A and B are shown apart, each in its own frame.
Chain A
């Protein structure tokens, strides 16, 4: 699997937007970009995924660069419940998910 690079940690104020970056310069044409998050003491949960176009769902938005070498997960209005580790993962074909260390997001009230 192609690798991703994420900052170790980020901070955000409550009720403000959060932009979580992910670099994946070696992405292949068939790799999808997945985001999962892991709340404290819980298993990871799916957030969003995309291939080329920007994607929106009820949890977040995913902005994908035109060259697909980077992407950004956008939480439009951070809440305390969004404090978690966010994982950016590339997935192609039938390979299982391979997790990196992710970005630990802290939300300040």
Chain B
């Protein structure tokens, strides 16, 4: 199994450009999450989804949009990139959302906005 796969792994954007990060999981998980991690910091939750067709805001949702049209995919979009969005983005999925659910993370996507 591939687990959680993120594409692209690296991207450089200019301010104002748009892009989409794709997260795909092959574990039939209901729950999916997008986090960002800035240097020396822990992960912060951007958006998450509790099932196909649903999305919810996390701690830092501004400037991002998400979609979950298919159960296995969770897309993170930046409509107009800003230098403050330079970060490493991690996608995760889990079967359970409850307190015992284990999250599986992708390897990350490093985004630089000039």
Q: A residues bordering B, Cβ < 8 Å?
A: 30-32, 36, 41-46, 49, 87, 91-94, 96-102
Contact (Cβ within 8 A) A43 B108:
yes
CB within 8 A of A46: which of B33, B44, B59, B103? B103
If A36-B103, A42-B108, A87-B42 are given as contacts, then 6 extra A-B residue pairs at C-beta distance below 8 Å, sorted by A number, are A49-B102, A91-B101, A94-B50, A97-B45, A100-B42, A101-B41
Q: Give chain A nearest CB distance to B76 CB in angstroms.
A: 15
Contact (Cβ within 8 A) B100 A46:
no
Query: CB of B74 within 8 A of chain A?
Result: no
- A/B interface sample: 9 pairs, CB < 8 A: A32-B99, A36-B103, A42-B108, A43-B92, A44-B43, A94-B50, A96-B58, A99-B35, A99-B44
Q: B residues bordering A, Cβ < 8 Å?
A: 4, 33, 35, 40-45, 48, 50, 58-59, 90, 92, 97-108
Contact (Cβ within 8 A) A98 B59:
yes
Q: At the interface, is chain B mostly helix, strand, loop or mixed?
A: loop
Residues of chain A lying within 8 A (CB to CB) of residue B33: 96-97
Per the bound structure, the CA–CA distance linking A94 and B92 in Å amounts to 15
Contact (Cβ within 8 A) A98 B45:
yes
**Complex A-B, nearest 3 residue pairs according to Cβ-Cβ distance, in ascending order:** A43-B105, A99-B42, A99-B43
Contact (Cβ within 8 A) A93 B99:
yes
CB within 8 A of A96: which of B45, B107, B108? B45
Residues of chain A lying within 8 A (CB to CB) of residue B97: 94, 96
Closest to B97 in A: A94
Residues of chain B lying within 8 A (CB to CB) of residue A44: 43, 90, 92, 103, 105
Contact (Cβ within 8 A) A42 B102:
no
